Structure formats: C-alpha cells, structure tokens
Amino acid sequence: MSAPTDHPYDFDPAYGFRLDDLLALRPPEAPPGFDDFWRARYRRALATSPRPTLSETETQHRRWRVQDVGYTSTDDFPIGGWLLTPRRGRVRRGLVVGHGYGGRDGPDFDIPVDETAVLFPCFRGLSRSRGAAISSDPQQHVLHDIDQPDRYILGGCVDDLWLAASALERLFPEVAGRIGYAGTSFGGGIGALAIARDARIDRGHLEVPTFGNMPLWLTLPTVGSGHAAQGHVARRAGAIETLRLFDAATAATRIQVPMLIAVARFDPVVAPPCQFSVANAVPTSNVHETVILDAGHVDYPGIEDQHARLAHKVGRFFEAT
C-alpha cells in the first residue's frame, strides 16, 4: 500500500481497517418502504419531459465536438452541462458522467470512449445548475431539505441523472438501451442510487462512491460532506430516517447490470469502509469488478500509474457492448 503515511488529518483516513475487514463489510438492511419510495420517484422522473437544448460553444477539440446542453429535471429544475460527440465515426452509445462535490468546470476530454455521445450534467445546486435557494458548499448542499425525504437534495440529484438519460434518448434515439453511467465520489453515490432503479442504464462505473452504509458513514470522522450530516443528525436525530432511504450500499444490492467500481483504502473525504460497502453490495450473480486504489481524494506515490490502469479498464468496460 502506497497511501500517505504523513498527513495533516487528526484522524486515520484508513480507519484501522485491514483489506480483509473492508472486503467483509455488508450493506445495512433497507428501511421500510425503501423500494416503494424509489419506485414512485422513478415513475415521476420518467413522466418528466427533459426538453433538451443544445448550443454551440467556442471550445474546440480535435477529437470531440463540444456543445452546451440544457434540460429540465423534476420540479422544473433547469440543468446545465456539456455534450461531447465524436468528430469521426457514428454515435453508437450514450454515456452520462457525474461529478464530485467540487462540481465541474467543463467536460473531460480524456474520457476513454469512442462512438459515444457523452453528457456531462451538473447536478442541481452545483456549477452550471446553481440555484439561488441551494448552497453550492458541500457542507450545506448535503443538508438541503434533509428533513423532507420527498424533497431531499440527493433525491433531486438522482432525478437529474435519470433525466440526463432521458435527454440523451431524445437527442440520440439510437442509444436507447445502450446508455452507461460513470461517476466519482458524490457522483458515485448518486450513480448507485440511480442505476439500481433505471433499466435504461446498461452498465455503470463508480469511483470512490459516497453515501454508502449510512449508519457507519455517520460515525466515522471525515472532512467531507459526511461531517455536516453527522452534526445535523446529532442535533436532529430524525434525519437518520431520511438518510437511510438514500444509502448507496443498500441501493447497490438492487443493481442488476455490469459494474466497475473503484474503491480506496485511504480517503479522508469518503471513508473507505463506506466505499467498500457499496462495492461489496452488488449481487455476486452480477457481472462486476472491484478495483482497489491505494487512496482517494489525495495525491499519493503511484497515483498516475493506478489511474492510468483504471482508465484503461474503464475504456474496455464501456466498449464491451
């Protein structure tokens, strides 16, 4: 393991877990009404017309045509982002790419896919989807409407992902049934929640996903969004009932499509036990692979090599069909 041994945190970002301990973690049981809650939410999202719009940008790239994209999510929330389409070859697949809690300043031109329309949405309240009533500070964003399960911000972000898939189908009917999802950190947790319910997404890649194993997430020291949630639950214990509905590990037990999940053994932002709880929860009958990184959300010796190998796997994963 090449994770940092000298770090500025007043806690151990490996949390004392050995690899065997991490691999033995299991997701918490679903709370009552979990599946009914998500089933109803998905039906509502599918009934929403995304009304996608495209406009040209001044950004030029040798490999990709770059366009600004907008679409409408649930509650008439306007979502902004970017669309990449290949300059050469046809569009054969679709891919939605989520982002971490830092938001997104632009598309990732190094995404290792071909013949793919790649949609980079910004989840509500963040980057191009900022809303006046929603803080873009992760410590505040994660608490937005936390005491109202039907309005909690994480559910809205899952809706935004589902409506991104709807927008891709409107723009490129030929990708229906061939839409993948890739998300890191915040986008990884949102991805697990979304993929568990959406049969239109045929495979997913999650990297260092958050929101896994909420009961454990709320007990482990962190500098990430979990720190704000811990403080809120300490003041208002009822919020735990909302968070149980948004447990990415519980949702992952419902995933039935191929998955490639990258998890880290050292991470001060998303506790590794929570990441592994998501990866371990995917049914063993499913076609999936777990890639173990030395660390997440920090630099470490060998990071370039590990991420290069992961990028190669991601490219092969999304070319598989």
CB 190 within 8 A of CB 158: yes
CA distance 32 to 132: 34
Is 58 a member of any domain?
yes
**Alpha helix (H) ranges present in 172-271?**
186-195, 214-217, 225-235, 239-245, 248-252
CA distance 14 to 247: 21
CB 290 within 8 A of CB 275: no
Over residues 119-178, the pLDDT tens digits come to: 999 999 999 999 879 999 999 999 999 999 999 999 999 999 999 999 999 999 999 999
CA distance 116 to 284: 29
- Greater confidence, 6 or 93? 93
Is 144 a member of any domain?
yes
- Looking at residue 239, what is its pLDDT? 94
| Pick from 239, 198, 199: nearest CA to 217 | 239
CA distance 185 to 297: 9
Is 13 a member of any domain?
no
The number of distinct structural domains making up the chain is: 1
Q: At 88, which CATH number?
A: 3.40.50.1820
- Looking at residue 1, what is its pLDDT? 59
- Looking at residue 285, what is its pLDDT? 73
Is 118 a member of any domain?
yes
DSSP labels, 304-318: HHHHHHHHHHHHHHH
- Looking at residue 212, what is its pLDDT? 98
Amino acid at position 113, single letter? V
- For the CA atoms of 253, 13, 153, 117, the dihedral, rounded to the nearest 10 degrees, stands at -70
Kindly indicate the confidence band of residue 321, based on its pLDDT and cuts at 50, 70 and 90. Answer: low
Is 181 a member of any domain?
yes
Is 3 a member of any domain?
no
| Pick from 217, 214, 195, 220: nearest CA to 205 | 195
Here the tokens at position 73 are: 């999510």
Over residues 55-106, the pLDDT tens digits come to: 999 999 999 999 999 999 999 999 999 999 999 999 999 999 999 999 999 9
Average pLDDT taken over every residue of the chain = 96
- Looking at residue 60, what is its pLDDT? 93
- Looking at residue 131, what is its pLDDT? 86
Kindly indicate the confidence band of residue 317, based on its pLDDT and cuts at 50, 70 and 90. Answer: very high
pTM for this prediction: 0.97
Is 155 a member of any domain?
yes
Is 1 a member of any domain?
no
Range of the domain at 296: 19-318
